[in-house]
Amino acid sequence: MRLVVARDRAGFEVLYRMYFPRLVRFIRQITRRPHLVDEILDDVMLVVWQRAESFTETSRVSTWVFGIAYRQSLKHLQRDSRHRRSVGPVDDPVLPEDPEMNAIQRQSASRLRAAMTALPVEQRAVVELTYFHGCGYREIADALGCPVDTVKTRMFHARRKLRAALGEPD
């Protein structure tokens, strides 16, 4: 990050390559609008480049970058006048060679994606950052700009909704 603050393009390229796959997945999961992902990613990285000196090292770089990505995603969702909700392609996990198991796992993944899509964006962000990016509640609170208790409440409600959508008992 110090290289980016010093306007070192090679350092920025390393940061970009390091965060690219995680940011694409995060933005895709938050917005559920594949046509916005590239534009949002560009805006996120532009903010990172332009405001690198505002990174205070009171949190991890990932917290700061994902916070920017979250705010940019919300901004783009508000601007997007085509109120369509589309589920973008999500990489399937590596599946065993058993065709029956493959079908069951694909069906489970499809049901989970559909259930995630139904969550409000705030709850989807908390689930995505926790389970797919390994962030703790404090880090998520910093990234989303809300209290830790709000993150916990969002997670509680998200889990309940996901269990209900997947037909699992409480």
Is residue 53 scored above 50 in pLDDT?
yes
Q: How confident is residue 151, by pLDDT bands cut at 50, 70 and 90? A: very high
Q: How confident is residue 56, by pLDDT bands cut at 50, 70 and 90? A: confident
In tens, the pLDDT along 64-122 reads 999 999 999 988 888 874 444 333 444 434 434 567 766 777 777 778 888 888 899 99
Taken in order of first residue, the domains within the chain and their CATH numbers are 1-82 (1.10.1740.10), 98-170 (1.10.10.10)
Nearest residue to 91 via CA among 28, 49, 157, 20: 28
Nearest residue to 119 via CA among 76, 159, 167: 159
Tell me the average pLDDT across 2-10. 92
Is residue 7 scored above 90 in pLDDT?
yes
Distance CA 129, CA 124 (A): 9
Tell me the average pLDDT across 25-40. 90
- Give the global pTM: 0.62
Q: How far is the CA of 41 from the CAs of 30, 48, 114, in angstroms?
A: 12, 11, 23
Distance CA 134, CA 131 (A): 6
Distance CA 106, CA 123 (A): 24
Tell me the average pLDDT across 12-21. 95
